[in-house]
Amino acid sequence: MAFGNLIHIGKLGITGAIKQRLLEENISVKNFDISIWQEIMDTIKDDENLKNIYTGSTNLKDKNAFFVAKETTVNISDALWNKILNVINRFNGKLPEQHNTQKVETIIPQKIANNSTPSSRGINLQSEYPNIPYNANGDVDFNELTLDKLKSKFPSSEYTIDINNNRDYITVKRKSDGKFILSCANTTSYSGEKLQMVAFEHNGVLTQLNHQNGQFTQRTTFNNDKNKCILNTTEDFNNNGDLIRKETWNNDNTAYVAQIYSNGILCKETTYTKDKENNVFFVTNDKNYLSDKLINEINRRINARESGIGFLQKTDEIEKYILNGIATNTVSDVLYNYTQVTGRDLIQDIIDDKMGLSYEKQKELLTHITTAYKDSIPVTLTNDYYYEGTGIGYELQFALKNNDIEMLKNALNNVNKDNVQFVLSNIYNPSGNATFTDISENLYTKLTYIIGDDADEYISKFSDAMIQNINENGGYSQDIADDIKANKDSKTKLGVDFTRLLNRCEAGQTSTITGKPDGAIDISNIKQERTGDCWLIASVLSSSNKNQKGLDYINNMLSVDNNGNVTVNLKGVDKTYVISAEEIEKANHLASGDPDMRAIEIAVDKYMKEYSYELTEDGNPDYSRADINGDYESFAYNILFGNGYLNRTPDITKDDYNNENLVYTLSFGSNPNVKAAVLGEEKQSEVNLIGRHAYAITKSDNKYIYLVNPHNSADTLKVERELLKSK
């Protein structure tokens, strides 16, 4: 049936107009729920005539946002009206038989210009609470709260009205019992955002509504006592008016329950009880419902897949809990709890396809979580870049693994100088687990392969972000920037330079040297930082810590001029490098402490760059030796001494390590699960030896081997030979 040419959008808004017309066509709207109206509005939202009547909002999916519009008359075509009827027909089986019914008045609040009306923020102020004036910006209109108007509502014979000079703070008290009836505050936060609070008595309960920049954010209720207000409940809402957190307090404010919600799902519930003596609250019960449900469903699926017994469960529940439950206010809790319980990373489990999901489903769940993760901390906070960069890093992993060019380009476009270091933290694998995170050495190859002809543009942008990050954090990148410029026509050498940048940026620029170089290694003042060059430092320490002969050999490699520049002669490969004072001072990705050790690190780094250039020119690019980030002690001995090293596994229970003509290091391929005692302390402590890490051996006796850890050369460790027997 044709709708006719015109509908009048009056005080009842668009839905009100459609309701009226449906009633005229003998179609009842009595049992229509929000989902029907939502689909109707989705159906008409692209109609050009209707687009123009909204007062500033194009987001029709916000709850109640479509209920209000300018008062006008618009055209609706017969075709569009038939689409509306088709929507209603699909719901027909859920509705009672249609009969003509009388017109029913509906209370629909008028639209406020920027769609920030408090009535579309989870509560309907006009139906639940006394009328409060709002202006066109969605703020409380304090100009309407004049003394005359307040007196008309609250006679001075019964109420005390207080308005300050700026009319931004107003209170109304009842004289008979001294209780607050109305309280309004208008202020500005430290970040410049406008904050407003409106509190009033309603049915015996004092209710406070908080607004931030015109958006309703919180509702709080109190017991309205004469002398004090006792908290009952606090409810926080997101921008769509959905409840995201609720706190319920007991009668004397000594305990409360905090509940976290997402899309109506109760995700977490924590009970806090007050320690009256110390006046602090502590957790007495913590239930992460969403995380527990996810863990149960995912483990069932992983176990079925790994065991090969039975069929894989449907993914419906996993999808429901991730897509509906994980949001900006829940994502951190879920990820943290998942790791605490399972020892795994939820996002990594999806990337590594532990659940046997389709590629499309993996991508959907991954991007949902990373988007929530990136949005979970306000941009105004510094550590927002951590969440942003970590999310991008996960997306990079997934795109690289699945050769997803569009996702890869999108992730790379979002990398910048502020988040790049956190992006890199997710393409490195410090734990040594066999996951796809071990891609730092072949990232350049992967990028050029997947992206193809456009790869240079993205790699250049990525490189610029890393260079800026290094420079702004007090590091040194000029050497690599110069090499990139010089090697612009050699893709293989650019791969070396790009990998060096990755390693340098990821390591951070946090270490510092003490004093100026003097041409002598200070064997008790070296601390390896985040660059993985334990293989080099341990080799130097094993030489210089052994005896005077070894120390003299290392020191004879060094000479210092009056400007603090250090000449380093790498005798094993017959290479000499002059390291500037600026490089030594700013190379804060390398070891802290002794500047002479740092000069050796830089010299070896330069040698390895040249070594890697030669390897790549052979036509088989291998960037594993682009710099000093990760290698073997045998390679360090070759650089320092030549080919005179012995790369063998000795009998750890018997060998004598005191020979002054030989130097030794010790390393483990995996976690050795061995403890060593720290010498030189009043109360001797124990530390765990680390896998995939090199130690300098300084001496031995019948029972112990004595080690120095590059992490802190000031300490000597002793470990029982027997403990190392099977390692």
State the SS3 of 609-659: HHHHHHHHHCCCCCCCCCCCCCCCHHHHHHHHHCCCCCCCCCCCCCCCCCC
Q: For residues 369 and 327, give the distance between their C-alpha atoms in angstroms, rounded to a whole number.
A: 8
Band of pLDDT at residue 81, cut at 50, 70 and 90: confident
Mean pLDDT of 572-590: 96
What pLDDT is stored for residue 136 in this prediction? 65
Amino acid at 104: V
Q: For residues 391 and 373, give the distance between their C-alpha atoms in angstroms, rounded to a whole number.
A: 6
CB atoms within 10 A of CB 642: 12
What pLDDT is stored for residue 224 in this prediction? 66
- Decide if 386 contacts 432 (C-beta within 8 A): no
Q: Tell me which range, 208-222, 323-337, 380-394, 440-454, is most confidently predicted by mean pLDDT.
A: 323-337
CA dihedral of residues 715, 720, 721, 723 (deg, nearest 10): -110
What pLDDT is stored for residue 190 in this prediction? 66
Q: For residues 725 and 727, give the distance between their C-alpha atoms in angstroms, rounded to a whole number.
A: 6
Which residue intervals of 269-403 are DSSP H helices?
289-307, 316-320, 331-342, 346-351, 359-374, 384-402
Q: For residues 179 and 225, give the distance between their C-alpha atoms in angstroms, rounded to a whole number.
A: 7
223-256 tens-digit pLDDT? 766 556 678 899 998 877 788 999 999 988 889 9
What pLDDT is stored for residue 403 in this prediction? 93
Q: For residues 511 and 526, give the distance between their C-alpha atoms in angstroms, rounded to a whole number.
A: 11
Q: Tell me which range, 15-24, 53-62, 419-428, is most confidently predicted by mean pLDDT.
A: 419-428
Q: For residues 315 and 88, give the distance between their C-alpha atoms in angstroms, rounded to a whole number.
A: 31
Is residue 671 scored above 50 in pLDDT? yes
- Decide if 695 contacts 665 (C-beta within 8 A): yes
87, burial (CB in 10 Å: exposed 0-12, middle 13-18, buried 19+) = middle
Mean pLDDT of 587-598: 96
351-363 tens-digit pLDDT? 988 888 999 999 9
Q: For residues 375 and 377, give the distance between their C-alpha atoms in angstroms, rounded to a whole number.
A: 6
Q: For residues 423 and 385, give the distance between their C-alpha atoms in angstroms, rounded to a whole number.
A: 9
What pLDDT is stored for residue 34 in this prediction? 62
What pLDDT is stored for residue 417 in this prediction? 95
- Decide if 351 contacts 394 (C-beta within 8 A): yes
What pLDDT is stored for residue 606 in this prediction? 97
Question: Which two structure tokens, joined as six digits, stand for 37?
Answer: 């109206």
Q: For residues 353 and 315, give the distance between their C-alpha atoms in angstroms, rounded to a whole number.
A: 13
Least confident of 81-90, 229-238, 266-275: 81-90
Q: With b meaning 16 or more CB within 10 Å and e meaning fewer, what string describes 149-171? A: ebeeebeeeebebebeeeeebbb
Is residue 440 scored above 90 in pLDDT? no
Question: Which two structure tokens, joined as six digits, stand for 114?
Answer: 């920027």
**For the chain, how many helices (H) and strands (E)?**
23, 24
Is residue 9 scored above 80 in pLDDT? no
Q: Sign of dihedral through CA atoms 487, 490, 496, 498?
A: positive
What pLDDT is stored for residue 125 in this prediction? 43
Is residue 121 scored above 60 in pLDDT? no
What pLDDT is stored for residue 186 in this prediction? 84
Is residue 437 scored above 60 in pLDDT? no
Is residue 561 scored above 70 in pLDDT? yes
Is residue 649 scored above 70 in pLDDT? no
Mean pLDDT of 692-697: 93
Residue of 520, 586, 604 whose CA lies nearest to 558: 520
Residue 513 per-residue DSSP state:
B
What pLDDT is stored for residue 79 in this prediction? 73
Q: Sign of dihedral through CA atoms 591, 593, 594, 595?
A: positive
Query: Greatest CA span in the chain, whole angstroms?
Result: 106
- Decide if 721 contacts 704 (C-beta within 8 A): yes
185-209 tens-digit pLDDT? 888 766 677 788 888 777 778 888 8
Amino acid at 618: D
Q: For residues 626 and 631, give the distance between their C-alpha atoms in angstroms, rounded to a whole number.
A: 10
Q: How far is C-alpha 60 from the chain's CA centre?
A: 29
Q: For residues 433 and 425, give the distance between their C-alpha atoms in angstroms, rounded to a whole number.
A: 14
What pLDDT is stored for residue 164 in this prediction? 84
382-397 tens-digit pLDDT? 667 888 999 999 999 9
pTM passes above 0.75: no
What pLDDT is stored for residue 227 in this prediction? 58
Q: For residues 381 and 390, give the distance between their C-alpha atoms in angstroms, rounded to a whole number.
A: 15
Q: Sign of dihedral through CA atoms 54, 60, 65, 68?
A: positive
Domain assignments of the chain as residue spans, ordered by start: 6-94, 122-240, 526-636
User: Across all residues in the chain, what is the average pLDDT?
Assistant: 81
Q: What angle do CA 239, 240, 245 make, to 5 degrees?
A: 75
Is residue 721 scored above 60 in pLDDT? yes
Q: What helix, strand, coil percent values describe the chain, rounded to 5?
A: 40, 20, 40
- Decide if 566 contacts 560 (C-beta within 8 A): yes
What pLDDT is stored for residue 271 in this prediction? 94
CB atoms within 10 A of CB 188: 10
Least confident of 85-94, 310-319, 407-416: 85-94
What pLDDT is stored for residue 104 in this prediction? 24
What pLDDT is stored for residue 207 in this prediction? 85
Is residue 64 scored above 50 in pLDDT? no
What pLDDT is stored for residue 433 in this prediction? 39
What pLDDT is stored for residue 456 in this prediction? 93
32-50 tens-digit pLDDT? 666 677 677 777 766 766 6
Band of pLDDT at residue 616, cut at 50, 70 and 90: confident
284-343 tens-digit pLDDT? 999 999 999 999 999 988 888 887 766 677 788 899 999 999 999 999 999 999 999 999
Band of pLDDT at residue 217, cut at 50, 70 and 90: confident
Task: Write down the residue that tokens 């014979």 correspond to.
Answer: 157
What pLDDT is stored for residue 44 in this prediction? 74
Q: What angle do CA 572, 574, 579 make, to 5 degrees?
A: 100
Strand partners, 566: 560, 579
What pLDDT is stored for residue 108 in this prediction? 23
Residue of 341, 419, 337, 402 whose CA lies nearest to 366: 402
Mean pLDDT of 636-644: 85
